[in-house]
Amino acid sequence: MREGLGSEHPLCDRIQFVMVILFFVCWGLDSLSHFMLWYSTVVLEAVTFLPLLLGTIVFLCFSLYLVSRAHKSVLDQGQTQLRLVDYGVYAVVRHPMYLGTLLFCLSFLFISLSLLSIGIWIAFFIFYDRMATFEERSLIQILGEEYAAYQKRVAKWFPYLY
């Protein structure tokens, strides 16, 4: 378990590793080996290349931005003063690192529109949502009302549109 504020799900790293490997293995088989699972990329034939390329670039850039800014916010805090990080990307969504990872995988889906990979991505999202809920329970126990107020103020996954 990592040092820091709150506790991480006990199987977090292992399950993330398995999910990412599973996603990319299925995506690779489905996208690059058109012979094995060709039926799940049939949607790709109906869409032109330019929107797919633009979607890939937008989601890839946004995912890298989220993860890098989230890491910077957490690492800038230092080890001596552990407190709630509620600025930067954490002022927009409560789980920018997880969201960045999901958007990174989503950017690859734009390349192939693999139905099988979309199913795995949905499972990945459900896993992250449950893991985030587990971690938030720990933060509520540690920070109490401060974290509860943060939950009301900041969206878990998708930024509030005012």
In a domain, 158, yes or no: no
In a domain, 105, yes or no: yes
Would the pLDDT of 46 be above 90?
A: no
Residue 2 pLDDT grade (very low, low, confident, very high; cuts 50, 70, 90): very low
Q: What is the predicted pLDDT for the residue at 35?
A: 46
Query: How many Cβ atoms sit within 10 Å of the Cβ of residue 67?
Result: 19
In a domain, 60, yes or no: yes
In a domain, 162, yes or no: no
SS3 155: strand
In a domain, 70, yes or no: yes
Structural domain boundaries enclosing 61: 12-153
Q: What percent of the chain has a predicted confidence (pLDDT) above 90?
A: 38
The CA distance from 143 to 77, in Å, is 16
In a domain, 73, yes or no: yes
Would the pLDDT of 74 be above 70?
A: yes
Mean pLDDT on 47-76: 87
Number of domains in the chain: 1
| Packing angle, helices 115-143 and 145-153, rounded to 10 | 140
Give the residue with greater pLDDT, 94 vs 118. 94
pTM of the model: 0.80
The CA distance from 131 to 142, in Å, is 17
Instruction: Quote the mean pLDDT of the chain.
Output: 82
